[in-house]
Structure 1
Amino acid sequence: MTDTDFSGKTVLVVGGSSGIGNGIAHAFRTRGAEVHIWGTRKSADDYKGEEGSDMEGLHYAHMDVSDFDAIEAYSPPFKSLDVLVLCQGTVIYKKGEFKMDGFQKVMDVNLNSLMACAIKFHDMLAASKGSLITISSTAAFHATRGNPAYNASKTGAVGLTRTLAQAWAKDGIRVNGVAPGLVDTKLTKVTTDNPDRLNASLQGIPMHRLGTPSDMAGVTLFLASPLAAYVLGQTIPVDGGLML
């Protein structure tokens, strides 16, 4: 048995229906875990044929994470939980986040729902001496001119990760985070589908390539594993050197 063997473990990936979250979900699944995911659509079938969404072997549930009452009322189909990955996220372009309704929507999904999910599953994670991992963004460490809510929410996620880690260490829960750089998913199409923007972005990445969901999954597996037994409250940038 290796340190990244999750056989017999139960994992929930919020936002695991596509992109980074989906990559993380399958990384745990292929290493033996029973993996549950939450997504925004009514059923897993609604993702059929969509790039970056593979539901094979995953247990799907529909959840609007901005509905905090729904999170609290959720009855999980699993009796124990070893790893909770919070990978939910949204962004509004064209200055939509400079209006309060847009700002509030992004903050609710990207930050406030992290706390709602953490509270919901605290007791399960304490019982298993489990791991909570937030997926934020390198946007937490620099300005993003057109997206104040996205930036504020990701910055807040890093602070929340630190603080929950300190507060819940006594319960045996390890809280850490991953801050992806530019990853090729549907949320970054505004850049990756624009050759000029993409080229300009790649010029600022020393590894000269976009990140992949698999790149993010590797560090998430590490943080959830015994290899990271003494890592607490950290958010690790996984960005190909973008912030250097």
Structure 2
Amino acid sequence: MNNPEPTGPGRVLHRQMTAHYPELPGKVAVVTGAARGMGAQFAAGLATRGVHVVAGDLDSAAMSATADELGAALAAESVADKPGRIAAYALDVTRAEDHEVLARRAIDEFGRIDFWINNAGIFPFAEVPDITPEQIRATLSVNVEGVLFGAQAAAAHMQPGSAIVNMASVSAVRVRKGRAAYCSSKAAVAHLTESLAVELGDRGIRVNAIAPGYIDTEMTRWIQDDAPALETALAAVPLHRIGSPEEVFGALLFLLSDSARYVTGHSLAVDGGSRHV
């Protein structure tokens, strides 16, 4: 799973995380939106550390292909712990019943659910006058309702000590032109995370969020390929570079681990400090 380290101004450092959490092998995680991007990174990284992963995505063919690819890579790698298995399923996060089906499959496949990562999301662009009713409904349905439905399904099957992690964004606290629908949805995710933490705390379930900034994914590739856009973006990042998926995964590992067992209701920014600029 190691990636090369690109060179050049603002380029991301792809180095595999060395943190090791011995309590993770044998645990079971559900990851939504896992066919590509950060979701696939999460699934691969967790399985490398011995966590069994139930991976769901709207694109069932891509999800199956990704699971097969990751499974083959894990079998070929030398890892400290016996790698976990990755089971792929179709999932429409806008349907509450799909989350419940995914939870049941996790129980049937692995006997438990320890972690649930609500990663699926969309990133629409439209200036305020051009946002259509269909766009705002779709954005809130995927980005917010998808998180709520996932948390509901997870909580129904989790035991005390389990953890839910949602994907928020630095956009929850920083406005970006043309992203009003997206920014408002991520602000809702951040606040929903706090509400879930309060209500599920009685069950011993922790709920946190990760708030990435500019990360080296398909979503930001256009910025990296446009020198003026990259310069503008990096001017708003105190560390003056784009982050790597591995660095977001490092935050996820911490939030799932026993090291964060007294952390709940928190949005952990992985943004190079851009939320302060």
Query: Is TM more than 0.5 here?
Result: yes
1:192 CA drift (Å): 3.0
SS of match in other structure, 1:85: strand
Of residues 216, 219, 225, the one that matches 1:187 is 219
**Shift of residue 112, structure 1, vs aligned partner:** 0.8
Aligned position for 1:157:
189
CA distance in 1, matches of 2:272, 2:43: 22
Q: Percent identity?
A: 26
Residue pairs, 1:1-244, within 5 angstroms: 3-44=21-62, 47=65, 55-56=70-71, 57-74=85-102, 75-78=104-107, 79-95=111-127, 98-125=131-158, 127-244=159-276
Matched residues in 1 for 2:196 and 2:69: separation? 31
Q: TM-score, normalised by structure 1?
A: 0.89
Asked if 1 retains the 8 angstrom alpha-carbon contact of 2:93 and 2:99, the reply is: yes
- CA 195–54 in structure 1, closer or farther in 2 if over 3 Å, else same: farther
For the 8 Å contact 2:215–2:243, the answer to whether it is kept is yes
In the alignment, is the contact (CA less than 8 A) between 2:29 and 2:113 conserved in 1? Answer: yes
The amino acid across from 1:103 in the alignment is I
Tell me, yes or no, if the aligned pair for 1:81 and 1:128 is still in contact at 8 Å. Answer: no
* Inter-partner Cα distance in structure 1 for 2:69 and 2:250: 18
Q: Distance in 1 between matches of 2:221 and 2:182?
A: 16
Q: RMSD value over aligned CA atoms?
A: 2.1
The Cα offsets for residues 202-239 of structure 1, whole Å up to 9 and x where unpaired, read as 12212221111110110111011110111110001011
CA distance in structure 2 between the aligned counterparts of 1:151 and 1:47, rounded to whole angstroms: 31
Q: SS where residue 247 of structure 2 aligns?
A: helix
Match of 2:74 in 1: none
Report if aligned partners of 1:4, 1:221 keep a CA contact under 8 Å in 2.
no
**Paired positions, count:** 238
Instruction: Using structure 2 for the length normalisation, give the TM-score.
Output: 0.79
User: Secondary structure at 1:232's aligned position in 2?
Assistant: coil
Secondary structure, aligned partner of 1:55:
helix
**2 CA distance for matches of 1:108 and 1:4?**
37
> CA separation in 1, counterparts of 2:176 and 2:264?
27
**1:37·1:59 contact (CA, 8 Å) conserved in 2?**
yes
Rounded to whole Å, the distance in 1 between the matches of 2:267 and 2:142 is 19
Distance change >3 Å, CA 47–CA 191, structure 1 → 2 = farther
Q: Deviations over 1:169-188 (max 9, x none)?
A: 11010111110011121222
| CA distance in structure 1 between the aligned counterparts of 2:22 and 2:187, rounded to whole angstroms | 29
The offset of 1:23, in angstroms, is 1.6
Runs of 4+ that moved beyond 3 A:
2-5, 44-48, 72-75, 94-97
Local SS of the residue matching 1:243: helix
> What SS class does the counterpart of residue 116 from structure 2 fall into?
strand
| Aligned-pair CA distance for 1:73 | 4.3
Unaligned 5+ residue runs, structure 1? Answer: none
